[in-house]
Amino acid sequence: MAKRTLRKIEPVPFTQVSIEDDFWAPRQKINRDVTLNVQYEQLKSTGRLDAWTWKAGEPNQPHIFWDSDVAKWIEAGAYSLALHPDGQLEERIDAYIDAAAAAQEPDGYLNSHFIHVEPEKRWTNLRDWHELYCAGHLIEAAVAYYQATGKRKLLDVMCRYADLIDRTFGPNDGQMRGYPGHEEIELALVKLYRVTEEPRYLKLAQFFVEERGRQPHYYVIEAEQRDEKTKQSWVGDFSYNQANVPVREQTEVRGHAVRAGYFYAGVTDVGAELGDESLVQASKRLWNNLTQRRMYITGGVGPTHQNEGFTIDYDLPNESAYAETCASIALIFWAQRMLHVDPRRRYADVLERALYNCVLSGESLSGDAFFYTNRLAVYPPMEPFTPGGVGARRSDWFGCACCPPNLARLLASLGGYVYSKSEDALWVHLYVGSSVKLQLAGQEISLRQETDYPWNGQIQLKLWLNKPARFALMLRIPRWCPKARLLVNGEKVALGKVTSKGYARIERKWHDGDKIELLLSMPVERIEAHPKVRQDCGRVALQRGPLVYCLEEPDNGPDLNDIALPSGSAIEAEFDPDLLGGVVALTGEALRRDEDAFGKALYRPVGTDYRMIAFRAIPYYAWANRELGEMLVWLNAMV
Whether residue 296 contacts residue 541, with contact meaning beta carbons closer than 8 Å, is answered with no
Contacts of 35 (CB under 8 A, 6+ apart): 363, 367, 368, 404, 407, 408, 411
Partners of residue 605 on adjacent β-strands: none
Whether residue 402 contacts residue 327, with contact meaning beta carbons closer than 8 Å, is answered with no
Partners of residue 631 on adjacent β-strands: 378, 552
How many CB atoms are located within 10 Å of the residue 187 CB? Answer: 26
Helix/strand/coil (H/E/C) assignment for every residue in 25-78 = HHHHHHHHHHHHHHHHHHHHHCCHHHHHHCCCCCCCCCCCCHHHHHHHHHHHHH
Is the Cα dihedral 296, 622, 390, 66 positive or negative? positive
Which of 407, 307, 276, 409 lies closest to 354, judged by CA?
407
H/E stretch holding 506 reads strand 503-510
Cα angle 639, 297, 256 (rounded to 5 degrees) comes to: 140
Is the Cα dihedral 572, 577, 578, 581 positive or negative? positive
Question: What's the N-to-C CA distance of the chain in angstroms?
Answer: 62
Contacts of 232 (CB under 8 A, 6+ apart): 219, 238
Single-letter residue type at 233:
S
Q: What are φ and ψ of residue 463, in 5° steps? A: -105, 145
DSSP label of 13: P
Q: Note the maximum CA span of the chain.
A: 80
Q: What are φ and ψ of residue 58, in 5° steps? A: -80, 160
Which of 180, 203, 208 lies closest to 192, judged by CA?
203
Cα–Cα distance for residue pair 139/194, rounded to 1 Å? 12
Which of 244, 237, 257 lies closest to 183, judged by CA?
257
Cα–Cα distance for residue pair 175/143, rounded to 1 Å? 26
Partners of residue 475 on adjacent β-strands: 428, 504
Q: What are φ and ψ of residue 533, in 5° steps? A: -80, 85
Q: How many helices (H) and strands (E) does the chain have?
A: 18, 23
Q: Measured between alpha carbons, how far is residue 183 from residues 126, 169, 212, 537 in Å?
A: 10, 15, 10, 35
Cα–Cα distance for residue pair 621/392, rounded to 1 Å? 13
Whether residue 336 contacts residue 417, with contact meaning beta carbons closer than 8 Å, is answered with yes
Provide the annotated active-site residues: 308, 402
H/E stretch holding 101 reads helix 87-103
Cα–Cα distance for residue pair 71/75, rounded to 1 Å? 6
Whether residue 403 contacts residue 322, with contact meaning beta carbons closer than 8 Å, is answered with no
Q: Measured between alpha carbons, how far is residue 252 from residues 282, 293, 590 in Å?
A: 10, 10, 39
Cα–Cα distance for residue pair 209/196, rounded to 1 Å? 20
Whether residue 14 contacts residue 82, with contact meaning beta carbons closer than 8 Å, is answered with yes
Partners of residue 579 on adjacent β-strands: none
